[in-house]
Structure 1
């Protein structure tokens, strides 16, 4: 195995996959990190996403079908992962809200738009402050628009447990939002 691009497909063997991913990381981790940084423009986020990309590659290596080189396949996964991140609820609702220009009302915004934006920011902050067990179900149900049945499959939890958590999360959020409004 001289080059990662020349390695055989059908990587069912765990040790073989580890060796291939190690080789890919040695050769391409810096390049992938730079690619990711061009998407997210944040060093810490780029490092986190790069790790996620190599984990995803390891998990999906058995699906590599030699229609491209491993390098091309790796870059495609990296690019798609970054695009998914940029479309994610976290990026759109949290990361962008941290930017100063979002807090400076433009002259063209109406008072209603400014109030709606403030309420959205308060709600996003309140959701992020929920305990994880509630935050997870709120995120999957309201932001990913998944049904309780779908969430049950993802989390391996009873749908009734999820209903209870969703109800409790709404109560906590209602209390926080009422408190903020005072």
Structure 2
């Protein structure tokens, strides 16, 4: 009995090591805060461990974990804690901007601008861009992950690309 538990834990540790960076990236794309990202990532793996026996194998482990991460991230964005953190960060950021104009000017590189632009897109467009371009998922996988039709995913990809092109000077 104890040996089975140990084997399961070792197997799960391998899963965590394999997918932790993917989960962190997708969670950060939603919450845009390092500490919250770490907390939510931990919640994702705790939830996955508790429900591993319920995993039916209809998708890959990676897709299943990403789905948990997306749902946990969306739940966090709806929470009061998130709204409170956002207000506090806005106040602090406003004070820092006033003090560090030179630092902001120096960090104004094209790649950073694009990343910031993507992070400013509405969630429904940002999530498909990140899943498609940064996580390497195809439209069918994204469709399954977000519970959307493939056509909706394709439409959101087209619209998000258009938004990026209009806002970003290529």
- TM-score by structure 1 length? 0.45
Richer in helix (by share): 2
Considering Cα pairs closer than 8 Å and 6+ residues apart, tell me whether 1 or 2 has the greater RCO.
2
- TM-score by structure 2 length? 0.48
